[in-house]
């Protein structure tokens, strides 16, 4: 009889847990790991849309710089949004900043959060170690999400015991300006998790699109091979980089040519992505490395941020 009773209790408990996990999460409290440009941008837009935000990084100095950058960005937004009412603009900035707290200890602040968004270095081992640790401290209902642009979400999710509550949430730089968010679903991600993240993205004023966990998701999967093919076209001597850029701007209506965009994004970033994809699928012709790209990165000529890439900048 005791055995039957235990089985019944387990069954009821299991059903209750399943029912709870099936409910869509309304995300109100957000923890952002990483105070760089992406992390700070995500924290800003979340706080500006009524969410309570905890921004986490390794040192107080980094967090102070992040907070200063957020304030400067908010003042630019307020200047445009409240052009005829500067007082309301100041109130908007103050209210948003008051919604952002900071910490250097991620594990101590995730216990009551609805969503953890990771925006740290693009290194699978580092991300896995982070999420494995946070998994032990976060609440059962908490959704984990990575802002990675090049790594498999499934590989990151496997470090946790909440694969059904793990997804990709890929924002674009600069986050306050760019409307798109890619919501990435792994084979284990529950539909309720996806729906919760889509609702959250909309609450931020963004336009979410969903995609399976495929290399590059939607935007980078189309964009990076296009950029690499432009490089190969130039390497073969078929056309100059200047003419390729001009052709794509005037013929396809793109705001920037591929070489201008590569220099803007950073040649190191492009190389990192294509190298990662090549490692995953070495036979795919779209994922083949480029000699000229490798040479420029080796010489630390990685674009606008160093003053030279495919073009020179003063």
Whether the CB-CB separation of 93 and 74 falls below 8 Å is answered with: yes
Is 149 annotated as catalytic? Answer: yes
Collapse the DSSP code of 103 into the 3-class scheme (helix H, G, I; strand E, B; otherwise coil) and give the result.
Answer: strand
Any binding-site annotation on 180? no
Average pLDDT estimate for 135-156:
96
- Statement to judge: residues 175 and 265 lie in one domain: no
Q: What is the pLDDT of residue 24?
A: 84
- Statement to judge: residues 181 and 277 lie in one domain: no
Could you read off the pLDDT of 46-103 as tens digits, one per residue?
999 999 999 999 999 999 999 999 999 999 999 999 999 999 999 999 999 999 999 9
Q: What is the pLDDT of residue 22?
A: 63
- Statement to judge: residues 224 and 206 lie in one domain: no
Any binding-site annotation on 39? yes
Sort residue 210 into left (φ over 0), alpha (ψ -120 to 50) or beta.
beta
**β-bridge partners, 115:** 30, 143
- Rounded to whole angstroms, the Cα distance separating 232 from 288 reads 10
Q: How confident is the model at residue 314 (pLDDT cuts 50, 70, 90)?
A: confident
Catalytic residue among 220, 234, 260, 290: 220
Catalytic residue among 66, 118, 147, 170: 170
Q: Which residue has the higher pLDDT, 222 or 11?
A: 222
Q: What is the pLDDT of residue 14?
A: 44
Per-residue pLDDT for 168 more than 70? yes
Per-residue pLDDT for 159 more than 70? yes
Is 308 annotated as catalytic? Answer: no
Is 182 annotated as catalytic? Answer: yes
Domain extent at residue 245 = 220-306
Global pTM reads: 0.87
Any binding-site annotation on 38? yes
CATH number at residue 258: 1.10.1040.10
- Rounded to whole angstroms, the Cα distance separating 285 from 17 reads 46
CATH number at residue 154: 3.40.50.720
Residue 2: inside a domain, yes or no? no
Q: What is the pLDDT of residue 16?
A: 40
Catalytic residue among 182, 190, 196, 234: 182
Any binding-site annotation on 249? no
Catalytic residue among 66, 146, 147, 149: 149
Q: Which of 212, 244, 261 represents a domain boundary (last residue)?
A: 212
Residue 5 CB coordination number (10 Å): 9
Any binding-site annotation on 23? no
Is 294 annotated as catalytic? Answer: no
Those residues whose C-beta lies under 8 Å from the C-beta of residue 210, and which sit 6 or more positions away, are 182, 183, 184, 185, 194, 198
Any binding-site annotation on 127? yes
Per-residue pLDDT for 259 more than 90? yes
Q: Which residue has the higher pLDDT, 72 or 21?
A: 72
Phi/psi for 173 (5° steps) reads -95, 135
Length of the chain: 314
Q: How confident is the model at residue 1 (pLDDT cuts 50, 70, 90)?
A: very low
CA 145 to chain centre: 8
Residue 68: inside a domain, yes or no? yes
Q: What is the pLDDT of residue 23?
A: 76
- Statement to judge: residues 252 and 149 lie in one domain: no
- Rounded to whole angstroms, the Cα distance separating 174 from 191 reads 28
């Amino acid at each position: 009889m005791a055995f039957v009773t235990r089985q019944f209790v387990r069954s009821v408990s299991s059903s209750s847990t399943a029912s709870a996990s099936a409910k869509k999460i309304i995300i109100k409290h957000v923890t952002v790991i990483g105070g760089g440009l992406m992390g700070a941008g995500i924290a800003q837009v979340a706080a500006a849309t009524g969410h309570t935000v905890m921004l986490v990084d390794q040192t107080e100095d980094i967090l102070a710089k992040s907070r200063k950058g957020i304030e400067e960005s908010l003042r630019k937004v307020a200047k445009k949004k409240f052009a005829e009412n500067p007082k309301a603009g100041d109130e908007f900035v103050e209210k948003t900043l008051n919604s952002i707290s900071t910490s250097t200890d991620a594990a101590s602040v995730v216990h009551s959060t609805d969503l953890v968004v990771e925006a740290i270095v693009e290194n699978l081992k580092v991300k896995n170690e982070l999420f494995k640790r946070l998994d032990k401290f976060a609440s059962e209902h908490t959704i984990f999400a990575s802002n990675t642009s090049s790594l498999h979400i499934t590989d990151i999710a496997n470090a946790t015991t909440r694969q059904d509550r793990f997804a990709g949430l890929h924002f674009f730089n600069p986050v306050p300006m760019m409307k798109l968010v890619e919501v990435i679903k792994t084979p284990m991600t529950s539909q309720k998790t996806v729906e919760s993240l889509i609702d959250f993205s909309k609450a931020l004023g963004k336009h979410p699109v969903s995609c399976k966990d495929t290399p590059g998701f939607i935007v980078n999967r189309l964009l990076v091979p296009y950029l690499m093919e432009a490089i190969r076209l130039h390497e073969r001597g078929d056309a100059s980089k200047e003419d390729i850029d001009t052709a794509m701007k005037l013929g396809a209506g793109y705001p920037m040519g591929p070489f201008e965009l590569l220099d803007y994004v950073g040649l190191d970033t492009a190389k990192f992505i294509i190298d990662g994809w090549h490692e995953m699928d070495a036979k795919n012709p779209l994922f083949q490395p480029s000699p000229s790209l490798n040479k420029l990165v080796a010489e630390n000529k990685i674009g606008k941020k160093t003053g030279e890439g495919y073009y020179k900048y003063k």
